[in-house]
Structure 1
Amino acid sequence: MNLRQWSRDLGLGVRFAFAGGREGWVRAGLTAVGVGLGVALLLLAAALPGVIVERHSREQARSDYTFMAEEPARADNTLLVAQTDTTFRSKSVRGRLLEPEGPRAPLPPGVDAFPAKGEMVVSPALKRLLTSDGGKLLRERVPYRIVGTITEPGLVGSQELAYFAGATGLHTDDPGVNRLTRFGTPNPEPEKADPVLVLLSVVMITVLLMPVAVFIAAAVRFGGERRDRRLAALRLVGADGGMTRRVAAGEAMAGALLGLVLGTVFFLFGRQVAGSLEVLEISIWPSYLNPSPALAALVAVAVPAAAVLVTLLALRGVVIEPLGVVRAAKPARRRLWWRLLLPLAGLAMLYPMMGQGNSEGNFNQYLVVGGVLLLLVGVTALLPWLVERVVARLGSGGIAWQLAVRRLQLSSGTAARMVNGIAVAVAGAIALQMLFAGVDDQYTKPSKEDLSRAQIQVSVPKGTPLADTARRFEDTKGVRRVIALSEGYLSDAPSTTADDATHGTEVAVGDCAALREVAKLPSCKDGDIFLADGTSYSTDGPLLNKPGKKLYIEDADTVVTWKVPAGIPQVTAVEDPSGGLRGGFLMTPGAMPRDFAGVVSGQVYLSIDRSVPDADEYALNTAAAVDPLASPMMWSGTETSPRYESIRTGLSVGAICVLALIGASLLVSQLEQLRERRKLLSSLVAFGTRRRTLSMSVLWQTAIPIGLGLVLASVVGVTLGAVLLRMTDQPVGVNWQVVLSMTGIGAVVVLLVTLLSLPPLIRLMRPDGLRTE
């Protein structure tokens, strides 16, 4: 067999695919749509590494952080930048105040000119929000006049909420204020890879892409029964068995090539749509979605090659003779032994990494990918055998049931092919969710904050009267309780003469109610001073509690002296709302020296009444009105590793894309099956079969293999999840709620697809469907 004959036969198959009239074009079109959906998702996957790199590059390019040792002196090329980030209805808003200190001050990326004081430039998404009715509360917090728009280089995503506002009077000793000579920082030293997180990433990518490959393999076999009848006609005019198989492979390749074109169109369309979408606060620019040329070329070569290979493998067990196809007779029973080898081989590849966890180095990524792939491919191999065995034993029932069962008994392979993708997706999802649940405790910790006492913490800059601030918060709608404390640091020598022998401790100022939140007080009245027992960060308090001892508190420009009075009682510290233990001096307002007001900063803890709509927004608006540099922090019950959170977010976004592909591909597959049975359905209607009966039979034909597929997916998914948990040295536990939810999602997708296929089914159930030419 030479290459010339192969190319001639494949080319003949390509011609047949498009020369079969309306029937041929419909068949090729359905194949192309199915393949195209898969190709679009493969191109998206090929573009994802570039998206991650580009987002990180944009974030680095606009970075405005400096360390104290690196902060430059004031010059004509310096810029003061203050961070004023906030949140609005759980969405992050990036805010910066800019004060150029000279004509050569650096402009942030995406900004053409510095806004004047009281003006700002905003992202397109923030502009839309501020000018909408829903942005009224945010406009009160960001009251600057809009004079321009931040362009794409200054934003990491098209839907990001961000602004740059002009300011004056900023100081580098204010919280969140930095002096810059340029934006952007050198790439930091890469973090040491976490083996478990690398494993999560590798398994996630494998699990998300595997259903795509399964759907493409199924799509190239659309129209199999009609194709086999055409191949029998080829045998009648003299073609041998090998030639007919190559012609069939050429037809499949034609559909795959057309699918590549459609997939590219789908991808380019989706690329533009992606620029207007936001999923889990993640948005991108269309320019980010540029697949790697090498990966795009791999997709372009692999898809047609896979179409040829799948077709040749599918026809290997089919005898095509001049007078028909042997497949029409009772097929040989499928063998089980070789189907079990695939998942067993996958388990064998994963077994050497059992118990490795986080302490034994990185997992072998090739073994991980190979093992997971073989286990998931095992689903596609076992499902046809399972469907064949089960439907062969199904008994009698109603007419709809009998029609469905008989159809499944005659073509169980076709039914299994249709649900292979959903079964693989569900199996992978169950395994991933088990793995995430197992390692979650390593990367998600309970926060130290006491949410029963406060839910928002506001840092108030130095010089802001704390008593007035507390009253403003008390008058704010939705604020139930306010705890206000001023903070500073006392030492027995000013910083200019400090040495290793210098001692220091904290000082906190608040009314008696606030001080009782940080220490056990025997009694308290305004004018009292206490000394809290030392903590790990403040152990020098008893050393400094000597009557008449001179202590110093200072900021960048001011040094204030205070003499320790006699008779300060020692009290026991308790955890404050933020979960910390305070040591040092505790003062009531009447005992605080007047000069302290300008050198202590404030911390305000707010308890919010969640029954009040937008209570958080009212509190944040008050914080911004008190001082634009006030830093509110929304407390959460848990603290999650950023890298782990990003992987989990990636899984959610990827799962949404794969589910969309599953639904669309199943719908195309269902429509192709209905088209194949058009004359059969029309014949049954012509003989008086009720449309309701036929509709129920189609539903049963879908429900039975889907039910079997989900059962098999649950078994394989739980097995794979248990193996992955043992690999990470975590105890094996099955969260049945996760298993049921994943299978439920798969069942819902299939149910929706079935409902969407009913209208075309009703149109096909007409006697005129028997008409032919």
Structure 2
Amino acid sequence: MIRDLLLGLRLAVGGGRISGQALLRLLMTTLGVALVVAVLLPAASINTMVGKQSERSEAQTATAEPQPGADPLYRLHWFIDSGDDYLQATVLAPGGPNAPVPPGLDRLPAQGEVVVSPAAADFLDSEAGASTRARIGGTIVGEVGKPGLVKAGDRVVFVGASADQIKDESYTETVYGFGIPPSESSGGGIDIVTMALVAPIAAVLLVPLLIFVTTASRMGAAQRERRLAALRLLGVSGRQVRRVAAAESLVGALAGLLLGGALFLALRPLVGKLDLFGLRFFPEDFVPSWQLVVFIALLVPGLAVGAAIFGLRRTIVEPLGVVRHGKASQRRMWWRWAIAIAGALMMGATLLAEERSNATTVGLALSAGSTLLLVGVAALLPWAVEKIVARISGGSPSWQLAVRRLQLESGTASRVVSGLVVVLAGAILIQTMVGAISTTDPEGSTWQPEQPVAAQLQGDRLPEAEELLAEEPRVSAVHQITATTLNKAEGGHARGWTVLIGDCAALATRAELGSCSDGDVFAVGAGSREPEPTAAEEGESARFISYLEGEPLLGPEWTIPAGVTRIPADEAVREVSSTLLITPGALGGIQPPDTQDMLFVTGTGDSKAIFEAAAVAVSPLGWSLDVWPPLGMYESDRLDETTATMRGLMLTASLFVLAVAALSLLMLSIEQITERRRPLAALSAAGVPLSVLARGSLWQIAIPVGVGVVLAVVAGIGITLPTLRYAGLDLSLDIGLIGVVCGAAIMAVLVTTVLTLPLLRQVTKLDSLRAE
């Protein structure tokens, strides 16, 4: 056995006068296996990456129980919304010299000092982060280390303060340590939902690459079979011949395995520079588990070797060099239909689920069903091509040559084109989803007052904020509104109303009031996807309620006055649907408990510029105030950025995999021309023009590709429909991108044909008939 394998290894890199074919097969197999390994190793690292992130997250978990020898650390979370981005700031103040230090910091920042993460530093140094930098203030003295970050892209800021500044704040936490006991650790790891979402992407990327590997490993089959026949003449048995063929493919597979591993290690440092929707990762977290590495090391070379041996299944290698092909067996269809039907049933079952129910089971069914349907459609393509060409007759000579060849054997070409089908259908699926999201109007009302609100403020120092805002020239008005909760007097803890209390000018920033005077009450209706609120009946008794440790406490009673004005939800900002708007005069002197005061800032000019100006104006108040833009101001910008990123990524990935599939088509065309060089030379000698043979080669590839493109478009749209229905989105096809991807598939056929013309011209020379 060892001698057979060594002989195969020698033939893989030698082979006498046909060493060029052997070397090309070796290079293509090595390249294909390397690309597969380079894709599989990052996928195999996802579980480790999630586990590392979980470990760092658990290490940052604060311990509120007093620890021996530890002084308290006062901690206050400060979420800084900058409109199109945000920072997660944490204000720290030691309660003594032995206060614990959070992971990622060498020491606690002193008052006025700031420590930032690398991603936060990049943002604060940019033009977009200038106003946020002004709000934080202080001096940046250091950088947060990796232990203080869950992901590399986390925008984390630690701000130093004194204990007197924050220990009496309502949201301040007292911390005595960090980390959780190993017995309470969750262990991390990828969850099944994430795994299910990754599955369709992996299928789109891997199927064409695996087809490329199998195609490359079977290149030069005719020459290899003649060489194996020569070995039979020397006394090598049929079983030994198969071992030699396996060893030939094993060289390229092992070389590809090493090259793929090297490619993964070389590209891994670049992972830290990628920014996907604001997410960045630590390159060193991408470490595949040794179990998966062993699995990949056995699977991928085994695939290449198996493809080479599988190619000899209907070939009998005789000592005299006669290669007899057995009758093609009938195509087994049961497993192909089983995959497609299983996927269709999973997708169809989701039609019974309630729209936007957010059920994990439905998400898994959609992910698994779409993956199975993608694979099933690719598996059914050879059968579809076979049935179509069987019913074609007549046509030009080039057309008849291509159709007759496909009637005799269409499986190989169809299997190669299956990679194109998966890519096209997957691209259509993902791009249709992205397009539907980008063209869907935001949920709820889009109403805005004549002078839109540019900023909202909430905190303990609102009077000082009003004084600071009055000095900002771009701010024209500041309105105060008080929020509280109202319940039916006899309803106990039943669901009641959210209440906003303010003068007419303030409430006019929340809804279209029409006429308004002090003493009026307005009831805003429910949004399209919300349950109708309990009706506010005139003369009905209600109670204001407050909460203590999550438990409601009944407050003063109030009678709903006559003349409540009903306002439709689409004539108010979306966040006040199902809300009562009350002017102070309607309360009759009642002081509701547990209220939250808010300021709403309006101005003239660009709302985004006013928001930044207002945020900078109140920056001296620091973490005592939360400042954020109104809902929807930056929503379209964020959505457009996400859509553009998704579209670019999908187009790049699709074109890359299409290039791999096109290379598989090229190898297939070269192999077919080489195998049929004598019949082609005979046709040329009989007077058939080279142009007819070239067009025949074109149609032989174009027919399976055309069938595949049609199947891909239909399947891609069909798979998308249940997902869109469940997500409550309208169908929106990105015709431009679908046209680009389909056009690239057609272009692959034309380029393949052009590149094979020199070989076709060479094999049709009369010299090729000399052996006859």
Q: TM-score, normalised by structure 2?
A: 0.70
Query: RMSD of the alignment, in Å?
Result: 6.3
Taking the aligned partners of 1:148 and 1:690, their CA distance within structure 2 comes to 76
Kindly indicate whether the alpha-carbon contact (under 8 Å) linking 1:95 and 1:163 is maintained by their aligned counterparts in 2: yes
* Secondary structure of residue in 2 paired with 1:85: strand
1:313 aligns with 2:310: yes
1:469-508 superposed matches below 5 A:
471=470, 475=474, 484-487=479-482
1:601 aligns with 2:594: no
Which of 102, 105, 126 is residue 99 of structure 2 equivalent to?
A: 105
- Residue deviations 1:238-285, cap 9 Å, x none? 434443333222212221111111111122122221121111222211
Kindly indicate whether the alpha-carbon contact (under 8 Å) linking 1:483 and 1:606 is maintained by their aligned counterparts in 2: yes
Which of 331, 339, 345 is residue 346 of structure 1 equivalent to?
A: 339
Taking the aligned partners of 2:725 and 2:506, their CA distance within structure 1 comes to 46
Aligned amino acid, residue 346 of structure 1: I
1:85-484 superposed matches below 5 A:
85-87=80-82, 90-132=84-126, 135-168=129-162, 170-171=165-166, 177-183=172-178, 209-321=206-318, 326=323, 338-347=331-340, 349=342, 355=349, 373=372, 376=375, 379-380=378-379, 382-383=381-382, 386=385, 390=389, 393=392, 413-428=411-426, 447-448=443-444, 450=446, 452-453=448-449, 458-465=456-463, 467-468=466-467, 471=470, 475=474, 484=479
Aligned amino acid, residue 515 of structure 1: L
Which of 483, 506, 512 is residue 504 of structure 2 equivalent to?
A: 512
Shift of 1:11: 4.0
* Secondary structure of residue in 1 paired with 2:462: coil
Kindly indicate whether the alpha-carbon contact (under 8 Å) linking 2:112 and 2:139 is maintained by their aligned counterparts in 1: yes
Which of 48, 60, 63 is residue 62 of structure 1 equivalent to?
A: 60
User: 2:639 aligns to what?
Assistant: none
Taking the aligned partners of 2:37 and 2:581, their CA distance within structure 1 comes to 65
- Residue deviations 1:738-770, cap 9 Å, x none? 7x6785464355468679989988998999999
Shift of 1:38: 0.8
* Secondary structure of residue in 2 paired with 1:103: coil
Taking the aligned partners of 1:348 and 1:622, their CA distance within structure 2 comes to 62
Shift of 1:314: 2.0
- Residue deviations 1:594-625, cap 9 Å, x none? x99x9863142669977x88776556555656
- Residue deviations 1:669-691, cap 9 Å, x none? 3664687699999x99x99x999
Shift of 1:386: 0.9
Kindly indicate whether the alpha-carbon contact (under 8 Å) linking 1:342 and 1:375 is maintained by their aligned counterparts in 2: no
* Secondary structure of residue in 2 paired with 1:338: coil
Aligned amino acid, residue 144 of structure 2: I
User: 1:632 aligns to what?
Assistant: 628
Aligned amino acid, residue 514 of structure 1: A
Kindly indicate whether the alpha-carbon contact (under 8 Å) linking 1:350 and 1:368 is maintained by their aligned counterparts in 2: no
User: 1:496 aligns to what?
Assistant: none
Kindly indicate whether the alpha-carbon contact (under 8 Å) linking 1:447 and 1:638 is maintained by their aligned counterparts in 2: no
Taking the aligned partners of 1:410 and 1:233, their CA distance within structure 2 comes to 28
Taking the aligned partners of 2:340 and 2:500, their CA distance within structure 1 comes to 60
Aligned amino acid, residue 92 of structure 2: L
Taking the aligned partners of 1:703 and 1:620, their CA distance within structure 2 comes to 61
- Residue deviations 1:574-609, cap 9 Å, x none? 565322444485338xx999x99x986314266997
Taking the aligned partners of 2:560 and 2:230, their CA distance within structure 1 comes to 110
Taking the aligned partners of 2:361 and 2:499, their CA distance within structure 1 comes to 47
Shift of 1:64: 6.5
Shift of 1:24: 3.4
Aligned amino acid, residue 747 of structure 1: C
Aligned amino acid, residue 383 of structure 1: P
Taking the aligned partners of 2:542 and 2:759, their CA distance within structure 1 comes to 93
Shift of 1:159: 3.5
Kindly indicate whether the alpha-carbon contact (under 8 Å) linking 2:485 and 2:499 is maintained by their aligned counterparts in 1: yes
- Residue deviations 1:457-515, cap 9 Å, x none? 52321222264466467716xxxx867333255999xxxxxxx99xx998856443223
Kindly indicate whether the alpha-carbon contact (under 8 Å) linking 1:505 and 1:541 is maintained by their aligned counterparts in 2: no
User: 1:15 aligns to what?
Assistant: 10
Kindly indicate whether the alpha-carbon contact (under 8 Å) linking 1:473 and 1:622 is maintained by their aligned counterparts in 2: yes
Aligned amino acid, residue 284 of structure 2: S
Kindly indicate whether the alpha-carbon contact (under 8 Å) linking 1:115 and 1:121 is maintained by their aligned counterparts in 2: yes
Distance verdict in 2 for CA 1:460–1:432, change over 3 Å = closer
Q: TM-score, normalised by structure 1?
A: 0.70
Kindly indicate whether the alpha-carbon contact (under 8 Å) linking 1:456 and 1:635 is maintained by their aligned counterparts in 2: no
Unaligned runs of 5+ in 1: 493-499, 557-561, 640-647
Residues 707-716 or 276-285, more deviating: 707-716
User: 1:642 aligns to what?
Assistant: none
Shift of 1:126: 3.1
Distance verdict in 2 for CA 1:678–1:119, change over 3 Å = farther
Distance verdict in 2 for CA 1:697–1:284, change over 3 Å = farther
Kindly indicate whether the alpha-carbon contact (under 8 Å) linking 2:71 and 2:97 is maintained by their aligned counterparts in 1: yes
Taking the aligned partners of 1:304 and 1:456, their CA distance within structure 2 comes to 61
Kindly indicate whether the alpha-carbon contact (under 8 Å) linking 2:119 and 2:154 is maintained by their aligned counterparts in 1: yes
Equivalent pairs counted in the alignment come to 710
Shift of 1:162: 2.9
Distance verdict in 2 for CA 1:120–1:664, change over 3 Å = farther
Which of 71, 74, 79 is residue 79 of structure 1 equivalent to?
A: 74
* Secondary structure of residue in 2 paired with 1:737: coil
User: 2:638 aligns to what?
Assistant: none
Taking the aligned partners of 2:363 and 2:150, their CA distance within structure 1 comes to 33
Shift of 1:380: 3.8
Kindly indicate whether the alpha-carbon contact (under 8 Å) linking 1:63 and 1:184 is maintained by their aligned counterparts in 2: yes
